[in-house]
Amino acid sequence: MSNIKVSIVNQCSVLQDAEVKPVVAALQTQVTRDFAPIWGIDADLIFVPKSENADPNTWWLILLDDSDTDGALGYHELNPAGLPMAKVFAKTDLKYNMKWSVTTSHELLEMLADPDINLTAFIQTGNESGYLYAFEMCDPVEDDQYGYMIDGVSVSNFILPSYFQESIPANKWDFCGYLKGGVPSMLSGGYLSKFAVGQKHETSGWTQITAEKIVEGSELKSRAARQLPSSRRKKRANKRVSV
């Protein structure tokens, strides 16, 4: 059993418990079979139906209806107790013809990999310059079309350690094998958040580079707006742009 326990809580009016339970089972398979051997991070997932309350000592991933953040289908942050918590807005997903199971997979994997929302990878470009890239598992490959199936459930693709580490010899940079190289490579609908270091002619702070995918008539630009802990007092510019 893993030391990490994640309660997946159904508080969504558009999803019945019977729809959510098999998705949780597929996500458990993804985490334990696919993600943990690569990244060394495992978790036990606990399905919490609408009639029950989640254990306050576990991490939470809550399935909700409508987005509470402009342009976001999901994000993760820290709850008031300092434990990781993710939100997935399934009704908003469905409104924009997105797969809520992919959003759930995305947020789960990213919460596991960077629970305190403070990890980055530094790519040096000069003696005193370079870029910090947000340590996001799914953003560069986030679009639904690049995911894969587990027991009939669509889950998110995710990057491999070779994506951020040039020292790792590799011919594969994401789990499904679509990327052609490491950072800053992206797939259509993906994006990266970066922080310029020592770059005189670039905007300071967090910025995005995107591989745009436009949906006609839609103002929603991202799947995930990951929120930083309140102590940082800023939101990282890292909304998913897969819609």
> What does residue 54 show for φ and ψ, rounded to 5 degrees?
-80, 150
- 186 lies in which domain range? 5-232
pTM: 0.86
By three-state DSSP, how is residue 105 classified?
helix
- Residue 212's pLDDT is what? 58
Has residue 242 been placed in a domain?
Answer: no
Q: Using 50, 70 and 90 to split pLDDT, how confident is the model at 149?
A: very high
Has residue 238 been placed in a domain?
Answer: no
Has residue 243 been placed in a domain?
Answer: no
Has residue 241 been placed in a domain?
Answer: no
Residue 22 has pLDDT above 90, yes or no: yes
Has residue 239 been placed in a domain?
Answer: no
Contact predicate 75/107, CB 8 Å: yes
Has residue 49 been placed in a domain?
Answer: yes
Has residue 201 been placed in a domain?
Answer: yes
Has residue 160 been placed in a domain?
Answer: yes
Mean pLDDT of all residues in 76-103: 90
Average pLDDT over the chain reads: 84
How far apart CA 232 and CA 213 sit, in angstroms, is 30
Q: Using 50, 70 and 90 to split pLDDT, how confident is the model at 166?
A: confident
According to the 3-state scheme, what is the secondary structure of 26-59?
HHHHHHHHHHHHHHCCCCEEEEECCCCCCCCCCE
Contact predicate 193/75, CB 8 Å: no
Contact predicate 68/77, CB 8 Å: no
Q: How many domains does the chain have?
A: 1
